[in-house]
Structures are given as C-alpha cells and as structure tokens.
Amino acid sequence: QVQLVESGGGLVQAGSSLRLSCAASGRTFSVYIMGWFRRAPGKEREFVGGINWSGRSTYYADSVKGRFTISRDNAKNTMYLQMNSLKSEDTAVYYCAASSTSVVVTTTSSAYNYWGQGTQVTVSS
C-alpha cells in the first residue's frame, strides 16, 4: 500500500503563486509515475500533470502548460506542483495520485491506483 497526503493549498489572489506538496509513504518503491488531478466546482475531475520515476518526463494539460511545474524528490518521497500565474479558474480541489501499474505518464485516472484526499486551492480575482 501507498499513502499520499497533499498539503500547501490555500486562498491566494489571481496572478500569485502556490506550491503544493504530496508526501508518499508505504511501498513507495513500487510507484512508477505520479500525477496531479483537480476537480473544480461543477466540473468533472481533470488531469493536471504527471511525472515519471526519474522526474525527467513530464506531461501537462494545455490549460496549465507554461504556468505549472511538476517535480519530485525521491529522497524525500515527495512530489510538488509549483503553480504560477494562478487564475480564478484554477480554483479546485487538487488530488495527488500515484501508479504502480503504469511506467508511462498517462492522463487516464484509472491508471492511478493510489490517491490522496485532496487539498483546496482557491484563487480570488
């Protein structure tokens, strides 16, 4: 089993920055890829970005590309989501996810078999 705990969410103004963290514990050695998803009010959960084990392969949704950056520190078993130039439409609950079944970064939520409980990000305009 792998446990994921998100942190770093909060209320910020549009145009500002925020960094989310996802701390992993348990059988972290079995995790190949990790990703961030979000669910905005009235919307379905959507893929934000993902990263492979080495951290050298990343993929982002078009809506956040150029503004968000994913990284991971395997020594600390932690993944980060650096969010810059935040917009009101970025307001959502952000979820950390990990997969022990896929070795390739994917946008498909079903490929991720471990999930955190989410952290709220609210961007005021």
User: pLDDT (tens digit, 9 = 90+) per residue, 44-68?
Assistant: 999 999 999 888 999 999 999 999 9
Q: How many Å apart are CA 123 and CA 86, to the nearest integer?
A: 7
- The CA dihedral of 73, 75, 77, 82, to the nearest 10 degrees, is -20
Alpha helix (H) ranges present in 10-125?
none
- pLDDT at position 16 is 98
- pLDDT at position 25 is 96
Q: How many Å apart are CA 21 and CA 82, to the nearest integer?
A: 9
